[in-house]
Structure 1
């Protein structure tokens, strides 16, 4: 039989040798089997969805090590998530340590699947994963693919190759198929639905496409407790205090790694542990039944919202329920502090307190009624106060700093001592630790103190056991009030301290706002100078016709000076200065430092401040600026500063000749100097005759 060399040549040129070799080698080459890597996952409900989330690499390795050890027992627990959760290996359960939450399931995962409309992989049950791994191993060793694994629910998985495995769902039931077949209309839609229900799932082996965090540093530098405000949820996503604190803690870790990178790499800075304090459940466990019998049945959702949130403010003004709230917060602080020290015996850091909304008022009242260290001088002043005020003060009720008085009438003087004017007299728990600082977020403390009948706290007012106090608020927060004015009567004349942006610069729209204020002032200055120059020219022209030239010149100087003084642009420039009041001394409450600190509103919030009053009150839980300020205060007390900040991004604006209409600034962030150059150029390019015509 003869062979045509041309046909062989054509086929050779059509199929490249590399593909021919690859095709011939697919059946001959055997897949080398390697054991799969196991990673540990836990189940969590996020926004009404069940998600499987991976443990960090550090936690997963610890769980795997204990799992493979020979000393494991039913009571064996492994601390994960920085010690906030314990995992029972044999029971496959994960439980929180510092707060109450449902127990979640834990899996040792190696095989995953993802549906056609899903974005995340879901791990198979461990028994199914073991079967799949055994089938994969046999297929690799025997080089025999297209294997089928039947599951108990009628579904099955087919191993097409080493890299392609497909999970086929259960076939359509006969009843459903018959109903579709009897329907003469919409056959195309039925075919589409039938195809959609039978679309297979993607099967994945191993952890190649997962992004796993390394984990948190084991060492804790400092401890921060956060107390929530009214209601059982803390933000517009209906998240609990534990969930928002998780995000707050995550932001803290990210900022430590980004702004304290040098100190973190050298082991000087590690992390701050943030723990939530919840009092809402303890309060409503006894009051909800009483409210239910007196609540009207109409508009149930609104009434439930009122009972669950707004009434917490009234409950706090009641002696009975105020003490319930205060005892719950105080006891939780002491218990969690003791539990944390038990689980972290080498902890030597400081403790800090924080509160949001009503929670900040709770912490403030609690700190106001802590007992300072008893000395002979305090004991002597206590005895003097007994005789001076004709009021019996127990030896345990040591006054807070100076005794503040406000005369409401000539006969009665109300004293702000252990209870305070207008404040329920209750037994305040004593903390077993002295906090280093207190951070109030979106706080109504100033309003409540005023409502209680206190005109001023005075410059000598201090928290007995807490040396530092910071009042942080969003400029559009309707619940927040200033505190500095209650200490220093002149503080209202100065703006609160502006909190720097976490990216090392001021927000662009605020820069532009202040820049335009300065540009307006410069335009006004140039305009008045031009008017003055024009009047001087008029004066020179009329020097030969008038004898009272001196009076005319004085009149012109007077008019120009009045316009300079009354210029609104100049006032805007003066009030827009961030450094104004930087050296203002605010009593002893914060060691003489400023107390009120304001966040920078976002550009989209600047459009209409009334549209963001709700979001502005709950923005602190996810605010990088808030957390960075707290980090600076916490680590700054140890002499640790952030890394060198990046310089502000500026654009060099070229000088363009012509009228102001021809000046088109480029997009980006404008520097003050560049905008001033534009203003100066715009004014100097205008002819003076235009002012003469307008005048």
Structure 2
């Protein structure tokens, strides 16, 4: 059914057509001889043809009809609205205001609008550049400053329509200025086409006497007051507020033809109504709070060939943190908030050349794909362990972090005056590298310090011939003299200030080690528990306030740090990280729990030793099979040894290999017994001491049934884990995370 549009015509009745009609409802003298009536005999309302002549003229043979009530006068039809000249002036359109223009950037094949504050800043800069270009008669390029957007991580060149990342490279996206949009959503019209539509729209309706909509037929195709044709589409204007976009494709033309035949309007079959300006105006209040906490994200191994990986990983971590803030810390994103966290990726591996391709040159071509993977991952650990390349890696990472911080500080002048804090989120080998940078650890200084304190002869000089003993003794006395001078200088804090000063240009507030082998490196460097419950002997509080060690239990690269502080914490469970959907309580209120006891008691171990003695006697009797069943092996090892002995027992009843296997079983039990006994003694000595702050935090395992399958994916699963994002923001803003 064709509904009338605002431009439809109605019959124009003049006032003379209604003159002489009585206002009395009962007066029917001026009614025409055909009119409407009401049949009172029936329940429904029907139309009756009545005669206005004298009643005596009717046929006498016809029965008399009941009297009918006079019909009320017909109301006047609706008049065609007359346009007042003053009203036409009010309908005159002007250029779009800044708030109605919305700038957008391209992300994953779709246009995403900038927030209101960014869009306003870009539109003002665009209009300023446009004005400067008009004033430049020579037509040369005008130097227009970029606009910082997206939380200060990107900047936009409004002239070239490009959005570049500020703190990392190879991240550029297109931007566009949106003026016309599809009314069904926020999808913009292509900018060049939108500019032509806007020009035509202003030409039509910015005049003092804008054109009136044409009269529309009651049936058939509606008439457009203006049409703008493009290569494969066209736009029709029916009024100032009725602008439709039509495609010229074959399918669209067929749909319009069928719709016209059936009586449907052109717009309802294949048209899209357009909307001038973005649906929600941009507002300067739509602005994120200033950055109060900066987090540097440092990657580990495996980023040689793909330097964009850390950018994506950092983006995933940022999204997890944003999701956690929206659900559990909503006060951080309220208009009154003055705090915000931002994550910056530290990409250091791709700029290093290290061996200049020698490892690749000596790599065999057999199973080359696997070798390339190993060279891009495990080789980084070997590089860092090498004294030849370690200093190069340290200097590269340190320079990159300091450069990023200096660039950030220049763009955020109020960060340091307002007490801004800096934390580090490091993964895998990156945690070891950042630890050495924060603490200023150097293996050469460590060895010199060892020789100075021990004051013993150099181990390489102990094998000298008797002819050189005098030189060795003279060197030993010189070392003692140097040690004495160092002690005197240390008393004046000269060397202490040079060695112990932070290598970074800022103090680290929180240090998050994720999937980290740092504990193994420290253990191999001779770090042992001090027994005071403080992390000071691992990382000084003067350079780092808090240390967190996050890991999946099945991560083969991750190790615990707490036993390096207090030895008996090896028997205490790490704290479980809260699930994203679970209840959130402060971690310091959680109680410590002991690990499940899997060790043998002293009585059980005594029984094992007696059983071993009996087994050794039974080995002398042929045909004995009592020792072929390892009843005392720990759970998980019994099946393996039983299978191996069953395989050996097929060849002979008592083979030498089986006897060797039994000896190995008893040796393993004795070693475990000795280790457990030593740990028990040390735990008894320090079990009353507690940690000042918990360090180890364990994530919940994945849903994979096998722990070996989890081990293949757990080391790279931290970036997208919402539990990790929630834990990080809850530690950065504890007042917001656990406020009632």
Shorter-normalised TM-score: what interval? 0.5 to 0.7
Q: Are 1:488 and 2:566 an aligned pair?
A: yes
203-212 or 340-349: bigger deviation: 203-212
Distance 2:575 2:399 in 1: 34
Q: Is the 8 A contact 1:358 1:444 kept in 2?
A: yes
Q: Is the 8 A contact 2:244 2:271 kept in 1?
A: no
Residues 444, 200 of structure 1: CA spacing in aligned structure 2 closer, same or farther, 3 A cutoff?
Answer: farther
Question: Helix, strand or coil: the match of 2:560?
Answer: coil
Residue 41 of structure 1, CA deviation: 1.4
Q: Are 1:148 and 2:221 an aligned pair?
A: no
348-357 or 138-147: bigger deviation: 138-147
Residues 3, 249 of structure 1: CA spacing in aligned structure 2 closer, same or farther, 3 A cutoff?
Answer: farther
Distance 2:34 2:517 in 1: 96
Distance 1:27 1:310 in 2: 81
Give matches, 1:271-670, under 5 Å: 271-283=340-352, 289-290=357-358, 293-295=361-363, 302-348=370-416, 349-369=420-440, 385=453, 387=455, 430-450=503-523, 452=524, 454=526, 456=528, 458-459=530-531, 461-464=537-540, 465-503=543-581, 505=583, 592-601=692-701, 605=703, 609-636=707-734, 640-644=735-739
Residues 364, 251 of structure 1: CA spacing in aligned structure 2 closer, same or farther, 3 A cutoff?
Answer: same
1:343-378 Cα offsets, whole Å, 9 max, x none, are: 12221322211101222222123223259xxxxxx9
Residue 433 of structure 1, CA deviation: 2.0
Residues 6, 76 of structure 1: CA spacing in aligned structure 2 closer, same or farther, 3 A cutoff?
Answer: same
Other-structure match for 2:149: 80
Residue 275 of structure 1, CA deviation: 1.0
Residues 93, 494 of structure 1: CA spacing in aligned structure 2 closer, same or farther, 3 A cutoff?
Answer: same
Residue 298 of structure 1, CA deviation: 6.3
Question: Helix, strand or coil: the match of 2:160?
Answer: coil
Distance 1:64 1:211 in 2: 10
Question: Helix, strand or coil: the match of 1:53?
Answer: strand
Other-structure match for 2:668: none
293-302 or 359-368: bigger deviation: 293-302
Q: Is the 8 A contact 1:256 1:271 kept in 2?
A: no
Distance 1:288 1:27 in 2: 81
Alignment RMSD (CA, Å): 5.0
Residue 211 of structure 1, CA deviation: 11
Q: Is the 8 A contact 2:297 2:346 kept in 1?
A: yes
Give matches, 1:151-230, under 5 Å: 151=230, 153-159=231-237, 162-163=241-242, 165-168=244-247, 205-208=276-279, 217-230=288-301
Distance 1:135 1:337 in 2: 49
Distance 1:430 1:147 in 2: 70
Distance 2:169 2:121 in 1: 24
Other-structure match for 2:27: none
Q: Are 1:89 and 2:158 an aligned pair?
A: yes
Residue 255 of structure 1, CA deviation: 4.1
Q: Is the 8 A contact 1:40 1:55 kept in 2?
A: yes
Residue 133 of structure 1, CA deviation: 1.7
Residue 597 of structure 1, CA deviation: 0.6
Residues 593, 90 of structure 1: CA spacing in aligned structure 2 closer, same or farther, 3 A cutoff?
Answer: same
Other-structure match for 2:117: 58
Residues 100, 454 of structure 1: CA spacing in aligned structure 2 closer, same or farther, 3 A cutoff?
Answer: same
Q: Give the TM-score of the pair, scaled to structure 1.
A: 0.57
Distance 1:332 1:27 in 2: 69
Distance 2:456 2:175 in 1: 65
1:116-147 Cα offsets, whole Å, 9 max, x none, are: xxx9835512x321111233445664345364
Distance 1:388 1:286 in 2: 36
Q: Are 1:241 and 2:310 an aligned pair?
A: yes
Question: Helix, strand or coil: the match of 2:733?
Answer: helix
Distance 1:383 1:616 in 2: 42
Residues 442, 382 of structure 1: CA spacing in aligned structure 2 closer, same or farther, 3 A cutoff?
Answer: closer
Residue 472 of structure 1, CA deviation: 0.9
Q: Give the TM-score of the pair, scaled to structure 2.
A: 0.54
Residue 446 of structure 1, CA deviation: 2.5
Question: Helix, strand or coil: the match of 1:59?
Answer: helix
Residue 227 of structure 1, CA deviation: 0.2
Distance 1:245 1:215 in 2: 24
Residue 40 of structure 1, CA deviation: 1.1
Distance 1:331 1:351 in 2: 16
Distance 2:361 2:82 in 1: 76
Structure showing greater radius of gyration is 2
Distance 1:382 1:298 in 2: 45
Distance 1:137 1:10 in 2: 53
Residue 110 of structure 1, CA deviation: 1.6
1:203-228 Cα offsets, whole Å, 9 max, x none, are: 55432289999755342212211101
